[in-house]
Chains A and B, each alone.
Chain A
Amino acid sequence: MSEKFELHSSIWREEAQPENPFTADRCLAFGYDVYGDVLHKCSWAEYLLLLFTGERPSVAAASLLEKLAIALANPGPREPSVRAAMNGGVGGSVDAASLIAALAVGAGQYGGSHEVYLLVNAWQQLGEDLDGWKAYLSEPNRDYREDVWSPIEHPPGFDPHGVRCARPVLQSLAALAEVSPGSALTWLQEHRSELERHSGLPLAMSAVAAAAFQDLGFNANQAIMMYLMLRLPGAAVHALEQEKLGWKKFPAYGPAIHLNDDPGPMGTPDVSRFGL
């Protein structure tokens, strides 16, 4: 007799149709009937929080996630992950590839999801210990061990190229703190100036997102997943837009790239006999 292969989950249960074991008649998420109950009564933000936390969220938590989703939805076409997706759009790559490009680039440590991961881990270790945060920001790679992720090159949560905190960051921090059921966003708002003075850099959106995830009770890996998903809408629409705009309206960087070690022309074979 062949082995029975099983998948295990404490999230999802399915009841099969009587006539077909491969088609679900009912799907339950953490005990809630998704299509018979949740679909009719629940918002997108509530359902996402149910899937991530296992419990029906408070109104405040759902409201925070919804506001965070708006704040993160479109980093704008200058941002690397969105630009990567636009490279998919302009060349007519399959649409999924544009999103894969956005996920891969947006996973990074310069404003990407790994920066958020580092911050959520720091939140869980440091909480609202201001001196602890200052020590961490001074030496974010203190506990670094060899990894596929390089050591981070700036204090996590701060803009290494910033001069003054960006207004959208301030506006997001204020709006999210106002609806948050937790205290991390408020704490960040209260201590932003001091942390900025300590770092010598302005706060970045990654720090706002990380504080929001702390207030939502997410762990660092959950924060990565949600951050990546919430930033995809901008990548999608800008990739689609660029495909319509066409390659003539996309930067052609080639001529601006210069070498220090150009060996110079070495000739091309004579293929004149082919009459090309």
Chain B
Amino acid sequence: MSIEDLQVAQNQLEGALGKAFLSERVVMRGKDLHNELGKQDWLSVMVYAITGREFSANQLRYMNFMWVATSYPDAGIWPNQATALAGTARTTPSLSLVTGLALSEARLYGRKPDRRAMDFFYRAAARVDQGESIEQVIEQEIEQRKVVFGYGRPLVRLDERVAHTLHVIETLGLDNGRHFQLALETHRYLKRTRGLSMNIAAISASTMADMGFSTEEYQLFLTLVFVAGMVPCYLDAKRRPEGSFFPVSCDNLVYSGVAERRW
């Protein structure tokens, strides 16, 4: 970008994806927000905002289920715990939810494994298209990256969401997609060779890949996915005395560092 381009960009934003003509109308990705998108449910508008595409009723029902099925109101879950701590520390409702949402972009769970699981299915499909077997692809993935994202689970081997989600996918006729079938093949191979199971990340990523979501679009879709479960965690901490959410006594802070010394 040249200095001249920057100078022009100081005062103009051309080809924007949306605009509010205040007191008149609002346009999002070429559609009138109130006259056109206003007839749709919120989730449809959210995925339209992300992709610029419209989805079938069954696809939207499934996406809605994904949000519902990850709304765990358990304050032991790390991002929810931060939300509960926000409640016990008496910060604001919005800041409380923001803290949980920000933490959800994590390495051990949440957005990083979600993206990497989808990325695996896209790369695997491309290589199978070039004649490799899925077994070869998986073995090389493990050799190079030590892990296939979406398989196994760090805390619990059986993921309770799997059965419910598979049932919804089947009921809605979304179980024939290319990437979901690859996810099942990967599961069968990893189960047989390493005792690993497909978890919710693989199911969600592969089915959303079948709907044509890019990894970034997928992350944007998932960003709020835990939020409904965070709300009760905040409220539960808020209704109790301040500072009473699993307080830690000095003795329960276990020190393993150097001995006392003088500055």
Q: Chain A residues in contact with chain B, CB under 8 A? A: 4-16, 21-24, 28, 30-33, 37-38, 41-42, 54, 56, 94, 96-97, 100, 104, 145-148, 150, 160-161, 163, 253-254, 256-263, 265-268
9 pairs of A and B residues whose beta carbons are closest in the complex? A146-B119, A261-B30, A16-B250, A10-B257, A13-B255, A21-B249, A266-B35, A14-B250, A31-B258
Contact, CB under 8 Å: A148 / B111: yes
| Interchain CB contact (< 8 A) of A14 among B116, B253, B261 | B253
Known A11-B257, A94-B95, A97-B95: A38·B263 in contact at CB below 8 Å: yes
Question: Which B227-263 residues sit within 8 Å CB-CB of chain A?
Answer: 246-263
B56 interface hit (Cβ, 8 Å): no
Closest to B248 in A: A7
Contact, CB under 8 Å: B22 / A254: yes
Q: How far is the CA of A31 from the CA of B262 in the complex (A)?
A: 8
Closest to B15 in A: A260
Q: How far is the CA of A161 from the CA of B180 in the complex (A)?
A: 43
Q: List 18 A-B contacts (CB under 8 A).
A: A9-B253, A14-B253, A21-B250, A22-B248, A31-B258, A56-B263, A145-B119, A161-B6, A254-B19, A258-B12, A258-B13, A258-B14, A259-B27, A259-B30, A260-B14, A261-B27, A263-B30, A266-B25
Question: Which B111-143 residues sit within 8 Å CB-CB of chain A?
Answer: 111-112, 115-116, 118-119
B98 interface hit (Cβ, 8 Å): yes
A121–chain B nearest beta-carbon distance, Å: 15
B193 interface hit (Cβ, 8 Å): no
B80–chain A nearest beta-carbon distance, Å: 16
Chain B residues with CB under 8 A of A42: 263
| Interchain CB contact (< 8 A) of A8 among B16, B256, B263 | B256
Contact, CB under 8 Å: A22 / B27: no
Question: Which B1-21 residues sit within 8 Å CB-CB of chain A?
Answer: 1, 3, 6, 11-16, 18-20
Q: How far is the CA of A148 from the CA of B258 in the complex (A)?
A: 37
Known A259-B19, A263-B31: A12·B215 in contact at CB below 8 Å: no
Chain A residues with CB under 8 A of B248: 5, 7, 22
Contact, CB under 8 Å: B263 / A266: no
- How many residue pairs, one in A and one in B, have C-beta atoms under 8 Å apart? 143
Q: Secondary structure at chain B's binding surface: helix, strand, loop or mixed?
A: mixed
Chain A residues with CB under 8 A of B252: 4-7
Closest to A162 in B: B3
Contact, CB under 8 Å: A37 / B6: no
Contact, CB under 8 Å: B115 / A31: no
Chain B residues with CB under 8 A of A258: 12-16, 19
A25–chain B nearest beta-carbon distance, Å: 8
B105 interface hit (Cβ, 8 Å): yes
Question: Which B123-181 residues sit within 8 Å CB-CB of chain A?
Answer: 145
A50–chain B nearest beta-carbon distance, Å: 9
Closest to B11 in A: A256
B41 interface hit (Cβ, 8 Å): no
Contact, CB under 8 Å: A28 / B32: no
Known A5-B252, A259-B16: A94·B92 in contact at CB below 8 Å: yes
Q: How far is the CA of A7 from the CA of B255 in the complex (A)?
A: 9
The residue in B30, B94, B119, B253 that gathers the most chain A C-beta atoms within 10 A of its C-beta is B253
